[in-house]
Amino acid sequence: MSADSGGIICESDVNRLVALFLQFEGASDPFSMACKEAEQQFNALVEKLYTEQVVPNFQSITLIQFRRFARKHCRLCLAKSGRPHPCV
């Protein structure tokens, strides 16, 4: 996800995280079923990436830290793409 990570998270996974993040973080109805499902999918993918990619390479990073970083990275990606996003 960054140069510091050594590129362990592939671009397609990053793009999937950003797409899911936009669906729930930028949702007009945060209580909709679609919004809740997108957030669950985002969290599941973050946990999968953490377990499979981060832990073997960076044992000192916790899941909470990685989730926080993933959310921040998604916000930055959305800001760079010019998409409107309420939390940037």
Contacts of 87 (CB under 8 A, 6+ apart): 25, 26, 75
Q: What is the Cα–Cα distance from 53 to 73, expressed in whole angstroms?
A: 17
- Record the pTM: 0.84
Reading the chain (88 residues) residue by residue, the pLDDT tens digits are 544 446 789 999 999 999 999 999 878 888 999 999 999 999 999 999 999 999 999 999 999 999 999 999 999 998 898 766 555 4
